Amino acid sequence: MKNRRSKWLSIIIVVVVILLVFNYFKGTYNTMVQHSEAVDQQWANVENTYQRRTDLIPNLVNTVKGYADFERKTLEAVINARAKATSIQLDPQKLTPEVMQQFQQAQAGLSGALGRLMVVVERYPELKANQNFLDLQAQLEGTENRIATERRKFNETARIYNTYIKMFPKNIFASMFGFKEKPYFEAVKGADQPPKVKF
């Protein structure tokens, strides 16, 4: 009788241990999936704000183009930078530091072209007084703020995910299940230097 009882007790202990290990694996895997999905969702938010900026540019260019003596090179630079920025499509599942850097460079090129456009606009008081242009400029400024906010949120979401998959023993499971570190948005090279203004 004692032998039978100890046999059942051993079986129950083994089953409990197996269930605990299974639940730990399941919980760890599901949490990795949740964090990965949160990063993907935040990436979609980043792309949406960049798309909003991209969608504003044709209206801005058309408004500025109405001023015949406006610098053609500046408008062409904006159009070309927009085309380059929209040509880079990223899959959030395949974000790598190299791909993220290409994306950031294209977006920085567009930001630079828009910045030069706004500087040139200063020479055209009648354009600066155009209500359509003023509305587009305000929308563009608001979008730039949204981009900065969404990028910050993306970095925070990626940090939570990256920290989770790097912690021991979760890093072993992450490696087994193919969860890889997500890159961050970084400051554009030279962003720490103040701009040089020449008059």
Q: Which of 27, 40, 32, 39 is nearest to 171 (CA)?
A: 32
pLDDT at 88: 84
Q: What is the pLDDT of residues 13-40, one digit of tens each?
A: 999 999 999 999 899 999 999 999 999 9
CB contact set of 144 (below 8 Å; sequence gap of 6+): 53, 111
pLDDT at 34: 96
pLDDT at 198: 38
- Taking CA atoms, 56 is separated from 50, 53, 73, 141, 185, in Å, by 10, 5, 19, 11, 23
Look up residue 196 and give its amino acid: K
Q: What pTM value is reported for the model?
A: 0.78
**The residue to which tokens 């100890």 are assigned:** 6
CA distance 174 to 166: 8
| 2-177 CATH pick, 1.10.150.120, 3.40.50.720, 1.20.1440.20, 3.10.105.10 | 1.20.1440.20
Positions in the chain short of pLDDT 70? 1, 67-70, 187-199
CA distance 5 to 68: 96
Within a 10 A sphere around the Cβ of 171, how many other Cβ atoms? 13
pLDDT at 133: 84
Domain boundaries, the chain: 2-177
Q: Which of 84, 145, 76, 88 is nearest to 109 (CA)?
A: 84
**The residue to which tokens 């990223």 are assigned:** 90
